[in-house]
Amino acid sequence: MTAGATGVGSLPGADAREAAKTATGSFEDFPYLPELPARGPGADMIGRSLGLLVDLYAHVEPSGWRVSDRPGRDTRRARSWLGEDLDALEEFTQGYTGRLKVQAVGPWTLASALELHGGEAVLQDAGACRDLAASLAEGLRGHLADVRKRVPGAEIVLQYDEPSLTAVLRGRVRSASGYRTYRAVDRQVVESALRDLFSVHDGEVVVHSCAPDVPFALLRRAGAAAVSFDFSLLTEREDDAIGEAVEGGMKLFAGVVPGTDGPLSDPGGSVMGVRKLWRRLGLAPGTLAESVVVTPSCGLAGASPAYARAVQAHCVRAARSLADNPE
């Protein structure tokens, strides 16, 4: 993977063709399959991934997504929207060769968000967590095969969205009542489930989290090739883990451009923090371009369409600045 820029996943609006045009036009060297949560339940991050599951179904309750016994309207809607998005992506990637990123919610964030019949999260039931992860793995195999068929020249990069991962590891996911939290899941159990899911894809796997305290070391051990994170949440406490990860060959998808409307600094200024991190870690500036991919800090669903387009163009310019002036 060489220097570059890409998006995180979500975009504002509800027009699949417009979103695909933006994602492929902004990132000519590293496009991604956009998500459009504004369309409603089933187009959201969780619902979209639940639509991928095999022999496991979910529907929307007032409290969120809940396990169903059979596929219903919500599952059909999620699958239909994903199909629409893939059709649009296929249209705008005719003849494309190179990296292409697709996103799915990882097993632990999914287990934190999906409710069992009784209303508690799947997270509280170890057996249900295993079933959910196995169903997701099966669904992703089919999804990746479909993407390969539609964009045969693509080198697919699979991104797992795991914003709840740190909360799962620290026992901070709230129960249905909100009065207690679920017990922390053992780190080895978490790592093992991730390793199994990462092996679904024989290409590069990225894990995205825009929460603080991303577990870099655990993700590296589980086999992630890259971690995507909100750079502004990084603290010097994480320096050692990041230094070891980079030296071990891990890439950083650095979210350096704000995901919601606001003034944009000059592209060089946006990656100043990355250069400073490299100096602090004592890493060779020449390795910056091959180790870092520039992204927005998180998805762009909450941004205006004009800002979303501007941010993506800005990421490309910032990546170029990083490659041209690593010092």
Lowest mean pLDDT among 9-18, 140-149, 157-166, 233-242: 233-242
Please, are residues 222 and 191 in contact by the beta-carbon 8 Å criterion? yes
Average pLDDT, the chain: 96
CB 59 within 8 A of CB 75: yes
Q: pLDDT-derived band of residue 141, with 50, 70 and 90 as boundaries? A: very high
Q: Is 147 left (phi over 0), alpha (psi -120 to 50) or beta?
A: alpha
> What is the pLDDT at residue 15?
97
How far, CA to CA in Å, does 123 sit from each of 31, 46, 115, 192, 199?
Answer: 33, 14, 9, 15, 22
Residues 6+ apart with CB under 8 A from 30: 4, 5, 6, 98, 99, 100, 101, 157, 293
pLDDT single digits (tens) 267-287:
999 999 999 999 999 999 989
Instruction: Report residue 1's pLDDT band, with 50, 70 and 90 as the boundaries.
Output: very low
Cα separation, 237 vs 224, whole angstroms: 21
